Amino acid sequence: MTVLEDAPAAGQAPAPETVPQVDFDTDPAQYRHWRYEVDGETAWVYLDVAEDGGLVPGYELKLNSYDLGVDIELYDLTQRLRFEHPEVRSVVLTSGKDSNFCAGANIRMLAQSSHPWKVNFCKFTNETRNGIEDMTANSGQTWVAALNGTAAGGGYEMALACETILLVNDRSSAVALPEVPLLGVLPGTGGLTRVTDKRHVRKDRADIFATKSEGFQGPKAVEWKLVDETVSRKQWDETVRARAAEAAQGSHRPSDAQGIALPPLRREETADSITYPNVRCELDRDARTATITVLGPEPGTVPESLDRIHALGADFWPLAMTRELDDLILRLRTNELEIGTWLVRTQGSIEGALAFERVIAEHSGSDWLVNEIRHYFKRTLKRLDVTSRSLIALIEPGSCFAGALLELALACDRQYMLEGIFEDADEEQEPAQIVLTESNFGAFPMGNGLTRLQSRFYGDDETVAELHERTGERLTGAQAEEAGLVTDAPDDIDWEDEIRILLEERASLSPDALTGMEANHRFVGPETMETRIFGRLTAWQNWIFIRPNASGAEGALRRYGTGRKADFDQKRV
């Protein structure tokens, strides 16, 4: 994990042209802030932040505080536990430092960062926390937070992502969310929501907790449901091991499975392109567009026997493609802020794409690796769902939007599908087709708990049921438009002009208004803990981050640690 450009001087907010280019590649040999040990069925994960290891200059990561670089390592660590260590059934998250678990996000980093940097940092951190919960729910790797010292702010939010929270009872260690009283902002990674929705803390007590900077310790933290148990130093090691063993008992992980290695991604970059073996991206900076093409497998190249799937490991096409797409989304989202519209395409055969579907349908319920790949693709689609870019699917002859890959189109804000073929095409070209399969009806739920079809046709269960009857049918542009699965199906005469006008119109609109509009449209229906974290809570935090009370020259973030109190504008807005 590296930064590819110089960062701003200490105390300065990065200007758009000097925002560091972030590389998300890392591995345990490169970690500066984390280490983990696998002991039988339990993995011990230690947060031990290097103070001088900030991603950009200008701050020290004191008291186990973190920045984006720390969380990039944590994300990599979670992926390796999932894929390289199937024997792990419980994960203990603790600190490598005595008497301190984690002070949360580094305040100096937040104070000097640009607004987009803060927002992307919080979004990625949220996704990583949600991924920890997904490990507990779907991977058979239950997380236990062993707080051997105070957990404040983002440190406590990290613990909240775990299934069980233990706090050492030493008369000094506490849990706290001090952002409102100390910094004039909100807990940025789901703390307010998880306290009430997950820990079931009464809202009046949650109000007290979120405005009491020193937090709570000992029996009161247990009584208020902020932690599950407090343990004396004398009994700490024994109790933590016992809780880890208890957490492992309910796991469905096989005891004799062999993991697969996650080697570095093969990626080539130029000024205007990012290319992987199975995914490629072309950037048009003048038009502010990125064209993302997922290259589907050819027929017969996706093995359906488990022995062959495990032998291929990270080279198994669904896993290789998902890793590349995940990496691309993160890079574009963090490093290409002015590329506002992403055009999503696929290229390959329908038969090859359907082979992916058959593997999922046959093995994801019984094989740990196929199950992990399905949930990884689900999480990558969710990362796309919460990406603040206009997403447009282009479905053309030679596309392979079928089954799982059709979810990429359904995740987009609009879908355009060519009716017929291009006039200058060779005689063998077939019209574009899309295919619904069972995976479109539940294998990859969104953050709102609905499928993308249910979100698309919200309140119209009859149409969803009718579409379910059409699984396996190859739909042309006109048929897909009539079924409501695409926005428009122009023919060859109108295709080029339709897409050009669409992109010119999109580029003329306010990026801020588009972000709000798209997020509102994508997440219809029921509100879940996940949508509250990414929607309601994030929207308020984003607004608060740019208010003078937080980020102004006299705001709480700027004056934190100076000995001077913030000077708040007292008007309620």
- CATH at residue 42: 3.90.226.10
Higher pLDDT, 171 or 393: 393
- DSSP bridge partners of 237: none
Within a domain: residue 173? yes
pLDDT at 18: 53
Rounded mean pLDDT, 120-143? 96
pLDDT at 299: 82
Band (pLDDT 50/70/90 cuts) for residue 9 is very low
Residues 6 or more apart in contact with residue 373 via CB below 8 angstroms: 316, 318, 319, 322, 360, 364
| Shared domain check, 131 and 92 | yes
| Shared domain check, 114 and 154 | yes
CA of residue 148 relative to chain centroid, distance:
28
Total structural domains within the chain: 2
- Residues 380 and 378: their CA atoms lie apart, in Å, by 5
Rounded mean pLDDT, 102-118? 93
Rounded mean pLDDT, 361-381? 95
Rounded mean pLDDT, 503-530? 94
- pLDDT over 90 (residue 255): no
Within a domain: residue 263? no
pLDDT digits (tens, 9 = 90+) for 295-334: 999 888 888 899 999 999 999 999 999 999 999 999 999 9
Angle, CA of 39, 42 and 45, to the nearest 5°: 90
- pLDDT over 90 (residue 251): yes
Cα separation of the two ends of the chain: 41
| CB of 78 closer than 8 Å to CB of 7 | no
Ranges 189-203, 421-435, 474-488: which has the least confidence:
421-435
pLDDT at 301: 84
Within a domain: residue 535? no
245: tokens are 């063993």
Within a domain: residue 572? no
Within a domain: residue 122? yes
User: Whose CA is closest to 389, among 494, 546, 495, 283?
Assistant: 283
How many Cβ atoms sit within 10 Å of the Cβ of residue 553? 8
| Shared domain check, 167 and 116 | yes
Rounded mean pLDDT, 436-456? 97
Rounded mean pLDDT, 132-157? 97
Band (pLDDT 50/70/90 cuts) for residue 425 is confident
pLDDT at 7: 35
The whole-chain average pLDDT of the chain stands at 93
Burial of 455 (0-12, 13-18, 19+ CB in 10 A): buried
- Residues 394 and 347: their CA atoms lie apart, in Å, by 11
Band (pLDDT 50/70/90 cuts) for residue 99 is confident
Residues 6 or more apart in contact with residue 434 via CB below 8 angstroms: 395, 399, 401, 402, 406, 409, 417, 474, 475, 480, 485, 486
Which of 504, 522, 540 is at the close of a domain? Answer: 522
Sheet containing 90-95: order of strands: 34-39, 42-47, 90-95, 142-147, 164-168, 229-231
pLDDT at 14: 42
227 to 136, 163, 181, 192, 204: CA distances (angstroms): 17, 10, 21, 15, 17
| Shared domain check, 275 and 243 | no
Query: At CB < 8 A and 24+ separation, what contacts does 492-496 make?
Result: 492/418, 492/420, 492/421, 492/422, 492/423, 495/416, 495/418, 495/422
Which of 185, 214, 249 is at the close of a domain? Answer: 249
- pLDDT over 60 (residue 126): yes
Which amino acid does the sequence have at 175?
A: V
Within a domain: residue 5? no
Band (pLDDT 50/70/90 cuts) for residue 561 is confident
Is this prediction's pTM over 0.85? yes
| Shared domain check, 370 and 399 | yes
Rounded mean pLDDT, 52-70? 96
Domain that holds residue 429: 268-522
| Shared domain check, 213 and 314 | no
Within a domain: residue 567? no
| CB of 532 closer than 8 Å to CB of 193 | yes
| Shared domain check, 96 and 233 | yes
- Residues 281 and 342: their CA atoms lie apart, in Å, by 10
Within a domain: residue 11? no
Query: Which uninterrupted H or E stretch holds 442?
Result: none
- Residues 132 and 130: their CA atoms lie apart, in Å, by 5
Residues 6 or more apart in contact with residue 378 via CB below 8 angstroms: 443, 444, 445
| Shared domain check, 122 and 227 | yes
- pLDDT over 90 (residue 535): no
Beta strand 414-417 with 390-395 is parallel
421: tokens are 């073929």
- Residues 208 and 212: their CA atoms lie apart, in Å, by 6
| Shared domain check, 245 and 282 | no
Band (pLDDT 50/70/90 cuts) for residue 10 is very low
| Shared domain check, 284 and 240 | no
Rounded mean pLDDT, 94-122? 93
| Shared domain check, 429 and 388 | yes
Ranges 208-212, 422-426, 472-476: which has the least confidence:
422-426
Query: At CB < 8 A and 24+ separation, what contacts does 419-422 make?
Result: 419/476, 419/477, 419/478, 419/481, 419/489, 419/490, 419/491, 420/477, 420/491, 420/492, 421/397, 421/492, 422/396, 422/397, 422/492, 422/495
pLDDT at 6: 34
Rounded mean pLDDT, 535-549? 88
Band (pLDDT 50/70/90 cuts) for residue 5 is very low
pLDDT at 165: 98
- pLDDT over 90 (residue 19): no
Range with top average pLDDT, 1-15, 135-149, 294-308: 135-149
